[in-house]
Structure 1
Amino acid sequence: MKKTLVKQFAALVSAIALGTGVGVSATAQTPQPLPESPQTAPGTTTPEATPGTAPGTTTPEAIPGTAPGTTTPGVTPETPGAEAPQEATGNIVELASSNGSFQTLVQAVESAGLAEILTGEGPYTVFAPTDEAFAELPEGLLERLLLPENREILQQILAYHVVQGEIPSSEISPGTVDTLFGGVSVDVEGDRVIVNDASVIQADIQATNGIIHAINRVLLPPQVQELLTSQLEAELQQN
């Protein structure tokens, strides 16, 4: 009976990985090390005004850490008459904590020891799974990930949702975007933004140190999916 349950659990892990678009991600990339402490992205400078533009107009910077030759979110001029950006009232963790849709994410961030990074200067862009997205994970997977012995795996999963640099929805275009743990595939279909196979369901939640885009699925990096599968297979053999 226990072998059957473990086997079913392994199958569910593989299914959720495929469902979150691991199969359509960009070619494997070397994971970037997590920042050891809150700090501004290396090499970040104040953008200078572009010649010929109106006073005070600046050219947005390229997204830090993007692999050469990949397509990155491009600069798209804001549509005249578009709504003004939401005024930031707290950092990323504070906003997520006060938002009723991200309680599981906050719990995971705190368990992984990443709260200090995401309250730091940044800026960061977070593709944030909602509570409903975490609820769709295979039964027992979230509990397993929150165990102290799986802290490193949880850190990798969460880092896969974080981009160094601030990317509002108006600057997202199709291509590959480097996260703190490998690349994700971004597509734009009309007014719909897709990250791997997750959809952005609420964009541009502005924080003082970055921006949050709510998504409807948890993203699993290929490396983590392989690790979880091997762990479950080993557990199956032992039982």
Structure 2
Amino acid sequence: MKKTVLILSMALFFVASAFAPKTNSVHEVEADIVDLAVSTDFLSTLVAAVKAGDLVDVLKGDGPFTVFAPTNDAFAALPAGTLESLLKPENKDKLVSILTYHVVPGKVMSSDLKNGQKAKTVQGGEITVTLKDGKAMINDATVTAADIEADNGVVHVIDKVILPTM
């Protein structure tokens, strides 16, 4: 049991350190949300989708933004052909709708989340927060890494692509 806890602790440390922003002082961050995602291998599919949706400049903007960032595995779990279809130019509006559903205006840290809380997304729909057994869920996606700060907001990594009602 102790060995398992140690291994999990080390894994979490390495995941968290992958997001550690470069700073010149305690409060100065030199990476925006896009830069953090670009520097993280397991968010490369999200980066490709953000580029295809022409959202790079928006997410490099002043913000602040809270981004619930699906991992590559989350995108891979979509039904076969879904991602490829969404990345086509003719489906850009649908892609943008899905991506902006993962963004909430403002900087929402995990300590701000309340069980049953609803939050309006940039897309216009609402997401629901569930807190259970020490885990935060956004709709049906589990937050696997929280409170990754950027100079224009915060990123919470999730294990599933959340989909708005279309």
The TM-score, its normalising length taken from structure 2, stands at: 0.81
The TM-score, its normalising length taken from structure 1, stands at: 0.56
- CA separation in 1, counterparts of 2:165 and 2:138? 14
Q: Does 1:161 align with 2:161?
A: no
Which residue of the other structure, out of 194, 198, 201, is the alignment partner of 2:141? 198
Instruction: Name the counterpart of 2:50.
Output: 109
- CA separation in 2, counterparts of 1:89 and 1:193? 27
Instruction: Name the counterpart of 2:119.
Output: 177
Q: Does 1:148 align with 2:89?
A: yes
Q: CA deviation at 1:157?
A: 0.1
Q: How does 1:48-197 map to 2 (within 5 A)?
A: 87=21, 88-174=29-115, 175-181=117-123, 182-197=125-140
- Looking at CA atoms only, which structure, 1 or 2, has the larger radius of gyration? 1
Q: CA deviation at 1:184?
A: 0.6
Higher relative contact order (CA 8 A, sep 6+): 1
Q: Which stretches of structure 1, 4 residues or more, deviate above 6 A after TM superposition?
A: none
Give identity over the alignment, percent: 45
Q: CA deviation at 1:107?
A: 0.3
Unaligned runs of 5+ in 2: 1-19, 22-28
Q: Kindly tell me the number of residue pairs found equivalent between the two proteins.
A: 138
Q: Deviations over 1:86-130 (max 9, x none)?
A: 653400000000011100000000000111000000000000000
- CA separation in 2, counterparts of 1:149 and 1:111? 11
Unaligned runs of 5+ in 1: 1-85, 224-239
One-letter identity of the residue aligned with 1:200: V
Q: How does 1:217-236 map to 2 (within 5 A)?
A: 217-223=160-166
Q: Does 1:215 align with 2:161?
A: no
One-letter identity of the residue aligned with 2:121: T
- CA separation in 2, counterparts of 1:115 and 1:133? 20
